[in-house]
Chains A and B, each alone.
Chain A
Amino acid sequence: MRIGFPRALYYFDHFPFWAGFFHRLGIEVVTSPATHRQIMEQGLKKASDETCLPLKLLAGHIQALKDVDWIFLPRIVSVEADTYTCPKFLGIPESLLPAVPPGMPVLTVTLNWRKGKRQVLKDLEVLGAQLSQDKADIRKAFNEGLEWQQRYQDTMGAGWNFEESIREIERAAKDLTESAKVPTLVTWKERMFAKMSSTALKPTAELPIVDQNRDRLRIALVGHSYLTHESYANLNLLRKLREKANVELVQNVNQEEVETNLSGLRKKLFWSHSKQIFGAGNKFAEDQSVEGIIYLTCFGCGTDSMVQELVSRRAREQHKPYMVITLDEHSGEAGLVTRLEAFLDMVERRRVHEGYVSTYGECLDRDSNAL
């Protein structure tokens, strides 16, 4: 049996779990190809006009799934206690049914971690019954999924490369012969140890090692995972940025750090992604070594309309260069490149002239994001 998993939206956060889950059940998971022009166009045709870019892309990816027995569209209500995902996640799969090719069965499950692990397992058992799997197998598959997800989560942090990690997971998911094997991912700690030991082995006596990375700018990119890592939709922003600067991502900030950086809010944020974005954004704003923050959002994003406001306030308080990039299906590359270059130039110039800014100039700039 082959299950189609669209490479959009929750793919970027939760694919490892589902890959592990279905792998254990001996079901092959087929992902749609990386986004290309045709996928986007197909998505625009079938999705509702008012919805946001990520959902339109999801509609495209659903149509791009070929030769599968089911299309898997889970309703992910919540991924941790006390939070929700975006309301548009809650409307899946119903809101995307027009995009499903006629005759193709849709497999769905409601996942609500607010109600606790027991409820999640119960809902997964209902899914299992549809796939004629018994409860014990589902339980094992669930644990396997969690293990894969944890493994994937551990790779985040310094030097994380999304594409590499996810490719490894996809490879493991495809390979059904090697039963029950966790993908061989290098966690970021291991990476660090490897790096440290290699530098320790080097002869240090003669020349001091010049750290090439020291002079590079450090820029933080915050935003939803399905935008920052969707390289077609964001016009390769991440790669372009990495060419010129060291990039910090929301995913590099671990859960505990996010929690400690939620201060200053009288009410808890109740969207899991937004919590992460705000926590990370707040940390980057206060971190003196981060020289600029770019907030990547898409047109019509409801949660971002609130959180972007909060993050921008933090950046302004800390006098940190801050830029918002809003994506939609009409985004042009030239415009993006110009803005990016201008932003990086500004950050770089600021580094050089920092000491010479007159108080007069500072007052002029008091209400803008420029300084």
Chain B
Amino acid sequence: MKVTFPHMGNAWIVIQTLFESLNVEVVVPPFNSKRTLNLGTKLSPESACLPLKLNLGNYLEAANAGADTIVITGGIGPCRFGYYGEVERQILRDAGYNYEVVTLEPPDGSLAGLAKRIRFLAGRKNSWAKILKAMRFAYLKSVALDRVEDLIHAARPRLPHPLHTEKLYESAKQRLAQTMTEKGVQDTVRWVQETIQERQEGLNSMAEGINKPLRIGIVGEIYTILDPFSSVGIEEELGRLGVEVDRSIYLSGWVGSHIFRGIAPGYRSIRSYPRHAKPFLPHFVGGHGLETVGATVKFAREGYDGIIQVFPLSCMPEIVAASVLPKVQETYKIPIMTLIVDEHTGHAGIQTRLEAYVDLLERPRLLRESIQTREGVLGVGG
């Protein structure tokens, strides 16, 4: 049995670790690329959302590497993602791929069924204690990854050479992927911290790097905000424009709430979002629609300069959130931009919109001495 799984940003590091510590053979599919998307789009229903198309592309590419079993998480909706496993299974079967699809969820609410599926994946040799230990370690790694990502978010606008920062990020990811001890994980995080500190100390003039960058909160559908390929590298792009970004959901936060059912909070817990969202949307709407609204309110209260919502075309929960957000924008006087991505999204288009948006946010800073205020910005933003 060779297990594979769909990509979602840095999730591959965590999933690979989990299976490797259980001695299960795992195939990491080639990273998301134009080719992945093209392969996936050919098989997908045309109006399916972007993550499904990328998932299918991942499976096809992993099949070339000999993978025969797919692991994916599930859920009972009402977001479409909950039904991905079954639809993907049927599509792959008809396309002639002999994949076994294992959906990690309690089937019809039965925990015994979930245990059976985990047992199927882990094989007979692993004890439950070992499985739990592996899960704990993978979780620790995901928290460390999020910590590194957050450091990079802060470093991008402040350090002078964008390319060096990206290189640091890449090598940190490599180190995290390879290390199999808790100490190694901690050391990597410390190493990133120290490297950033060193580089910042080396700066002597104000011209290099920005001390107080603009802050933008990124909210939206989890796949598109965690996976840089699907959002055309929006975080990196903003970093290069001198903006510090923060995100509503981090990988471990999602793992903590979705897989561990809130037993572990994750790097940035998503627990407080429903409370923040309450005045605008008092009920969950599936997916992370409620979290999007909650995070927007939270970012606005924390004094962020702007919010960008990202979601794949026709995403149901995010459409609900998007129709509520204008009210948040009005209440907190914070400009919110919505970016919708699909397989036709081009880099240049997104880049233009981001540049225009950042210009818009910078204006009140430049005009602070004059009478210009935030309300003026909103007038421009509509």
Contact = CB atoms under 8 A, between A and B. Distances in A.
Interface string A70-105: 000001010000101111101100111110000000
B83 A86 contact: no
Contacts, number: 119
A36 interface: no
B47 A299 contact: yes
10 contacts: A77-B283, A87-B316, A94-B282, A94-B320, A265-B86, A270-B76, A270-B77, A306-B83, A309-B48, A313-B90
B78 A308 contact: no
A50 B83 contact: no
Interface of B: 45, 47-49, 74, 76-80, 82-83, 85-87, 89-91, 94, 103, 107-108, 280-287, 289, 313-317, 319-324, 326-327, 340
B217 to A, nearest CB: 20
Interface in A169-228: none
A302 interface: yes
A86 B326 contact: no
A94 B324 contact: yes
B42 to A, nearest CB: 13
A279 B177 CA distance: 45
B320 A90 contact: yes
Contacts of B280: 94
Contacts of A265: 86
B80 A309 contact: no
B47 A266 contact: no
Given A87-B79, A271-B78, A306 B87 contact: yes
A313 B108 CA distance: 24
A62 to B, nearest CB: 13
A235 interface: no
B94 to A, nearest CB: 7
Contacts of A82: 76
Interface in A17-67: 47-48, 50-51
A268 B76 CA distance: 9
Contact of A90 (B94, B286, B315): B286
Q: Which of A75, A86, A267, A308 has the most CB of B within 10 A?
A: A267
Contacts of B282: 94
B107 A267 contact: yes
Contacts of A77: 283
A95 B325 CA distance: 9
A87 B289 contact: yes
A300 interface: yes
A95 B47 contact: no
A94 B277 CA distance: 12
A96 B326 CA distance: 12
A93 to B, nearest CB: 10
Contact of B77 (A84, A95, A299): A84
Given A267-B83, A306-B45, A50 B319 contact: yes
A257 B58 CA distance: 38
Interface in A286-338: 299-306, 308-310, 313, 326
A270 B82 contact: yes
Q: Which of B89, B281, B283, B321 has the most CB of A within 10 A?
A: B283
A110 interface: yes
B225 to A, nearest CB: 17
A29 B48 CA distance: 38
Contacts of B76: 82, 84, 270
Given A91-B285, A95-B319, A266-B86, 11 more contacts: A50-B314, A77-B283, A84-B76, A84-B78, A90-B283, A267-B86, A268-B108, A269-B83, A270-B82, A306-B48, A313-B90
